[in-house]
Amino acid sequence: MGVALAGLWLVPGTAQAGAQQYAPMSAAVRYALSSAVVADRAPPEPRFASMQEKIDWLAAMAERLPRRWKPDYQTRIEFLKTVRFEADRAGLDPQLVLALIDVESYFRRYAVSHAGARGYMQVMPFWADVIGDGDASKLFDMRINLRYGCTILRHYLDTEGGNLFLALGRYNGSRGRSEYPDAVLRAMGRWAFGSGTGVPGPATAPAVRAVPAAPSLPARPQP
């Protein structure tokens, strides 16, 4: 990729990432992934330890979202609730997901990368065939995009035995290179929440949480 391309990840508004590579999967893996698609349209309501944490987290994160793409407060809150819900569902730290979106699309719903990846989490269209109904246009739907992105990252984490560096490389299509994982990990600093950040609330959770009971993804499928 080189230093020049790595620098583009720091330029707001540039969609550079999301070049996930298709790899043959067992029927069990495909079923586990497809079971994670959005089946209902009810507004997600994420979990918080307390009402105070909910207020503090939403207020802190809403203040950091770029106003150009999320101008009104209600839109920011709806987006953040969905991020938190989908991150928790996949066993991921919401701050990790926000950092990945920051690097991937700079929070642009209709971002399309040079590789053809779409939406907030820059999901490649082939995933619509692998875990969806084949309609890649749905990748611009906020909740579907976030569900797919979080599910895919969780799958890559399981594939890599929990190694976040390698999983982020897989997500970007640059496994083993440092530029993209380093960019996402740096971005996590901008989305930190809790002790030592000047923001009220509990200490930041681990980047990878315990996987929720449903949907259960395979522990470690063969690459």
Q: Which domains does the chain have, with CATH numbers?
A: 49-190 (1.10.530.10)
| The pLDDT of residue 146 | 95
CA 139 vs CA 24, 105, 117, 136, 162: distances in Å: 22, 13, 9, 6, 26
- Weakest mean pLDDT among 63-67, 139-143, 147-151, 197-201: 197-201
For the chain, the average pLDDT equals 79
Per-residue model confidence as pLDDT tens digits over 45-103: 999 999 999 999 999 999 999 988 888 999 999 999 999 999 999 999 999 999 999 99
Q: How many Å apart are CA 15 and CA 139, to the nearest integer?
A: 15
List, for residues 181-215, the tens digit of each pLDDT value. 999 999 999 999 975 454 455 444 456 654 433 33
Tell me the C-alpha distance between 67 and 175, whole Å.
33
Pick the catalytic residue from 86, 104, 160, 179: 104
Residue with tokens 């944490």: 53
The helix/strand/coil state of 112 is: strand
Model's pTM, two decimal places? 0.77
Please calculate the CA angle 45-213-42 and round it to the nearest 5 degrees. 25
User: Which residues are bridge partners to 180 per DSSP?
Assistant: none
179 is catalytic: no
Under a CB-based contact definition with an 8 Å cutoff, are residues 1 and 179 in contact? Answer: yes
